Amino acid sequence: MALTTRFWQLMHRGPLSVVVLLLFLLAGCDTGDPGTDPPGEDPSGVTSTAVTVERDTVGLPGTLLMPDTSAAVPGVVLVHGSGPVDRNGQDPQGRIPPIYERWAERMADRGLAVLRYDKRSTRPEVAQADPRDLTFLDFVRDAMAAGQLLRDRDGINPDRIVFVGHSQGGNVAPAAATRLDGAAGVASLAGPALATDSLFVAQLEAQGSGVGCPASRVRAQFDSLRTDTLAPKGLICGIGPPFWQQWIRHSEHIDSVAAALDAPILAQQGRADPNYPGGTLKRSLDGWRRIARTDNATVEVYDGVDHLFLEDGTTTTADAPLDDLITWIQNR
């Protein structure tokens, strides 16, 4: 049953704003360890296997869906949006539909191998650490490790590994692909092509409530961060300066990241996306279109599609963007 549009607008802001504010407060909420689930097979002939993305001392439980075919298939890494979301795209309270699970199942039904994994911030060992120790590059390296896992897997074509990043993952995925030699492509779904600090402040202003993080104070902190006058031990909305510095750099200079890629890019964006208030949607699309003029990039915009790629005001996944994405990947 569809919920009200206003409710979902509030929830959809979560992946990049409200939820990111609660990153370390919620990260310790264990979503269980589905990585221990036994392999299974669904009626469509897609095999589900529990895997673990290993990097440093943190093991990230994941699920690999493999189509039942003897041919080597393309591999897809799903890269999360902001906040402590699990492999299915859900927050610890379950307020967000399992969008990544839906995408993965549709892709696997169409002949793609898809790996989705729990985000680092869902793991208790990360939640108990100093928030200043977590960096944006941690997420980049996790995605790269996931890509390498696919590349080493039997039945997957190592020359056809594609990163699909949602929201924050739209900045993580290109950075990971530049580090995995020979990645076949990168898709950014609602990923920003403008400076994250500017977008984040605009979101706080649009909400009219700082959730303990007033827009005016956050703007001043970002100004201090940019001029290197922010206290080294300072936190911006509960997150340390290195994380913000790295994310801002990757979003603000997405052109340079794209230029470093020897692979095509697909940028998809819904027009009914409340995570881009005011003029930020136009600014982000202008950024992606600027990249498309100089690099091998395609920009697709969809009416009536929100930040989670649901039909606006519903919990129904929009078909057109997902079908276009799958076709694009199959052509890599």
pTM for the predicted model, two decimal places:
0.87
**Which domains does the chain possess?**
5-330 (3.40.50.1820)
Q: What separation in angstroms does the CA of 248 have from each of 228, 251, 313? A: 14, 5, 30
Q: How far is CA 207 from CA 124, 321, 322, in A?
A: 30, 27, 29
pLDDT tens, the chain, 332 aa long = 333 233 333 334 444 444 344 333 333 333 334 333 334 445 468 999 999 999 888 899 999 999 999 899 999 999 999 988 999 999 888 888 999 999 999 999 999 999 999 999 888 777 667 778 889 999 999 999 999 999 999 999 999 999 999 999 999 999 999 999 899 999 999 999 999 999 999 999 998 865 678 999 999 999 999 998 988 778 999 899 999 999 999 999 999 999 999 899 999 999 999 999 999 999 999 999 999 998 889 999 999 999 999 999 999 999 999 999 999 999 99
What DSSP string describes 56-97?
TTEEEEEEEEEES-SS-EEEEEEE--SSS--TTS--TT--S-
- Report in angstroms the alpha-carbon separations of 268 from 22, 45, 157, 183, 304: 27, 29, 25, 19, 13
Alpha helices in the chain (DSSP H): 5-13, 18-21, 23-26, 99-109, 124-127, 136-151, 169-179, 196-207, 215-226, 241-252, 254-260, 280-294, 319-330
